[in-house]
Amino acid sequence: MVNTKVVLSGIELDNPIIPASGTFGYGYEFAEWYDINCLGTFSFKGTTRDARFGNPTPRIAECTAGMINAVGLQNPGVDAVISRELPKLKECFHKPVMANVSGFSIEDYAYTCEKLDKEAQVGWLEVNISCPNVHGGGMSFGTSPEAAAEVTRAVKAVTTKPVYIKLSPNVTDIVSIAKACEEAGADGISMINTLMGMRIDLHRKKPVIANRSGGFSGPAIKPVALSMVYRVYEAVNIPIIGMGGISSAEDVLEMMLAGATAVEVGAANLIDPMASKNIIDDLPRVMEKYRVSSLSEIIGGAH
């Protein structure tokens, strides 16, 4: 009998599978397809201080081995998430959930995190300083160690729950940024967010996406994600949630061997709403195939 349990900042998960923010809504949408309590947890839709309509359409473009999105953090704002979305979620998900937070200033991040930290359903805060699809914030905080540390310190000052900083791969040295977050008090690192990408419509001879470029995700980015998780694992002493192109149980083992304690599944959920469940169902078979008796024992095993 294999053991799929892992521990993420003191909270035990039945398995390491976490649907990624922006690909799983607020959970109850997927509860119409299957019992989402089979998940380790999930990261709900990126939440900002105020409501956001997001970017103009079209926002999605398919591409070889992946997709490009520029949704632009569309969400109803933190107060509506707390009053409307979390009560609906509580009816179908009975485990701690991960709250994903974005902002456009240090004050925005602190305000939103402080509010969500008080919610009993929230187990962890995933602070997104790496969104490439918004202007005047988002990824700009994740491109320098100093800015990343400043956000981390501000959030940690007003919260009690574990804080995971979500990092961008669109940087020169992701290791230095991860180390700066750790030194500023981060409890963990989430990585990687999407790469920058675009498509051009040959008929119109213009970019497919209204935002011109967007976040590139899907199987094509897995080698980049693995390399970055591997390098950061050797540089920090806090847990890593690995993501980027995960679409199978084999991918999960690979990411954990690189150094991830848990693994987020993103674009695969948009291709197949059953993707995360299918990965969980297949994990025991794949663990037995590769003679892995306990997932917690292989974290960083490739080093």
Give the whole-angstrom CA distance, residue 276 versus residue 18. Answer: 8
DSSP 31: G
Report residue 284: phi and psi, to 5°: -60, -40
Measure the CA angle with vertex 105, ends 80 and 90; round to 5°.
25
Pair of tokens at residue 76: 């109803």
- Polymer length in residues for the chain: 303
**152: enclosing H helix or E strand:** helix 145-156
Q: Are strands 240-243 and 214-217 parallel, antiparallel or unpaired?
A: unpaired
Is 131 annotated in the active site?
Answer: yes
3-class SS of residue 256: helix
Give the whole-angstrom CA distance, residue 222 versus residue 65. Answer: 10
* Active-site entry in 63, 92, 113, 131: 131
Measure the CA angle with vertex 166, ends 161 and 172; round to 5°.
145
Residues 6 or more apart whose CB falls under 8 angstroms from that of 54 comprise 71, 72, 73, 74
3-class SS of residue 253: helix
* Residues belonging to the active site: 131
